[in-house]
Amino acid sequence: MTEPKTDTQSAAKKAAPRSIKLAVVILAIEALAPTFLAVWDLIDILSGKALMLSALLAQLALWLGAALWVGFTARRLYQGRAWARSAAVFWQLVQLAIAWGSFTGKYANWWIGGALIVTSVLVFVLVLSKQSLEHTAREI
């Protein structure tokens, strides 16, 4: 049988370590990018600049979904949910794929690619640090 949680155990679980707090701040900033793109698409839709309305609506849904998902992941990571580590790592892998594409092509931008790589690696390190793993460990 498991012992009931005491108030000190609950308080210790709620106090997020510095690594989690920094990872949450970075994830929150990363959630702003798809939010900005969603607002941009919404302005295009409302101003009548959309060439293909159905495609822009689908893109708007993707941007909003990504922004909500990353924001929700950041919140749950702060609260100590174990699954949020996986979601944060997955999002960083998505960003690394985008960063890879940022180095080549017609609209290549080394600054964007570099920033995505730096933030992704930083979140990897922070989320997988010992303090973060302890904060998000599930009690069985």
| pLDDT tens, position by position, 17-48 | 999 999 999 999 999 999 999 999 999 999 98
For residue 119, tell me if it sits in a domain.
Answer: yes
- The mean pLDDT of the chain is 88
For residue 51, tell me if it sits in a domain.
Answer: yes
Tell me the pLDDT band of 7, cut-offs 50, 70 and 90: very low
CA nearest neighbour of 93 among 119, 112, 126: 119
Angle at 46 between CA 44 and CA 48, to 5 degrees: 65
Q: Give the count of beta carbons closer than 10 Å to the beta carbon of residue 6.
A: 9
Q: Which two tokens stand for residue 91?
A: 């999002």
Please tell me the pTM assigned to this model: 0.82
- Model confidence at 137: pLDDT above 90: no
| pLDDT tens, position by position, 108-135 | 899 999 999 999 999 999 999 999 999 9
CA distances from 16 to 4, 48, 92, 133 (A): 21, 46, 21, 11
For residue 37, tell me if it sits in a domain.
Answer: yes
| Contact assessment for residue 135 and residue 12, using Cβ atoms and an 8 Å cutoff | no
36 φ/ψ angles, rounded to the nearest 5 degrees = -60, -45
Q: Which domain holds residue 122?
A: 17-136
For residue 46, tell me if it sits in a domain.
Answer: yes
For residue 38, tell me if it sits in a domain.
Answer: yes
| pLDDT tens, position by position, 76-90 | 999 999 999 999 999
Tally of structural domains, the chain: 1
Q: Specify the pLDDT at position 90.
A: 96
